[in-house]
Chain A
Amino acid sequence: MSLARRIITCLDTDGARVVKGVHFAGLRDAGDPAELAARYDAEGADEVVVLDIAASRDRRPTFLETIRSVAAQLSIPLTAGGGIRSLEDARSVVRAGADKITVNTAAVLWPPLITTLSGEFGSQAVVVAIDAKFEKATSSWDVRVRGGRDSAHLDVLSWAHRAVELGAGEILLTSMDRDGTQSGFDIALTSAISSAVPVPVIASGGAKTPGHFAQVFSEGAADAALAASIFHDNTQSIRGLKEFLRNNGIEVRFPC
């Protein structure tokens, strides 16, 4: 008996619509968030993440409405984020129906935000998202912020450690090198972080085949794996993916 590895579907939204892109750019419409959420719940996804990639202040009410409509469809946990900069932002997201909050750039710019959020909601509700990009010059992973545009001049491993010390209950680790490429998760990155921090790590970026998921669980030591477009456009069914993982000795949950 053990904890199942989680399959998480991610809805990147621009206001009221789900969008998808390659390398954090080139967005196109991928559907209605509530419809997709209902489908994933029924198909056996273990969790849903909604990320507001626009994250501009004037779109805030639309995003909160999106969280409400997604939460209304789910009988599984919901994580929401994108543009959360304060306790008040986080409260409105939780009130709209999110079980967990994810923070990225704002936590890098002002790390005590993590402590504030875990103090209010508990560390199990605070997911620190880290966008990682490999730097050849230093042979290490650099933390990227503002949707991946800028370097934070921070080492991913040290930032992950610091985030956990400050109260993060989970790390959502995205490989910017792999994101949108469908060439597989970054196993070296995932393994380096997941084996070093005492909290669960969600691997993200690059998933296409069931084999990619099996590899990130077995070799990458990921606790959960996240993908977006392969689920949105039905390239990969969640049930089919879980059957493959189970047949490869990886414990996953099948809904009754």
Chain B
Amino acid sequence: MTIAVIDYGAGNVPSVERVLERLGAASRRACRPAELALATAIVLPGVGHYAAIIRALDERSLRAPLLDAICRGVPFLGVCLGLQALYSSSDEAPELSGLGVLPGRIRSLPHDVKLPHMGWNRLRMQGASALLQGLCESDYFYFAHTFAAVEPIDATVATCEYGTPFTAVLERGRLFATQFHPEKSGAAGARLLHNFLRLAA
């Protein structure tokens, strides 16, 4: 199995590749529709502005093949903006349509806490999760974001709290996403990625 890591120009692609390599997984950068159509597992890393990821996916004509792959049940892991992109829209770029795989809108975290939400925080488990197997509420994960999925949905399997609770991990079939950066989250993050590789195999 080769993991297709979507390379849309910006983003944390090299660090994701490095952790996958450490875990013994082969990965390949994907930036063309055909590369997604053939992928047997997909990671969508992301960091920065919501508009950047959505525009980049559209400019590279990756929206349709990505949605198609998710529909076909190709294992998918979205990271940070890669989680936010799954929703219908975001207050960070209200004029753009997200992938719309999940219902709802990404909103800003409240301004009564320091933003961005930057650093290591813990999760509150909200139900059984294959992705979080072996991980617990005392593990810390690295977050670096200002916007979040603040309305819980059926796919929410773990929340985090920073000013307000928000979805930290979601899971629906073989669709997975994390608001934090597992590739930057030490041993706990490596464990999560290991789980994803096992579930994707």
Contact = CB atoms under 8 A, between A and B. Distances in A.
Contacts of A224: 119
Given A75-B184, A122-B48, A4 B19 contact: no
A124 B118 contact: yes
B47 A121 contact: yes
Given A75-B186, A256-B187, A124 B116 contact: yes
A255 B142 CA distance: 12
Contact of B119 (A75, A95, A223, A254): A223
B121 to A, nearest CB: 5
Interface stretch (B7-15, B57-65, B70-78): B7-15
B28 interface: no
Contacts of B118: 124, 169-170, 200, 223
B111 A198 contact: yes
Contacts of B117: 3
Contact of B189 (A2, A75, A95, A254): A75
A1 interface: yes
Contact of A75 (B140, B146, B187): B187
A4 B115 contact: no
B114 A122 contact: no
Contacts of A2: 121, 161-162
Interface of B: 10, 12, 14-15, 18-19, 47-49, 111, 114-122, 124, 139-140, 142, 144-146, 160-162, 181, 183-191
14 contacts: A2-B161, A3-B119, A4-B140, A77-B184, A119-B49, A123-B146, A125-B48, A198-B114, A200-B119, A223-B114, A255-B140, A255-B187, A256-B186, A256-B187
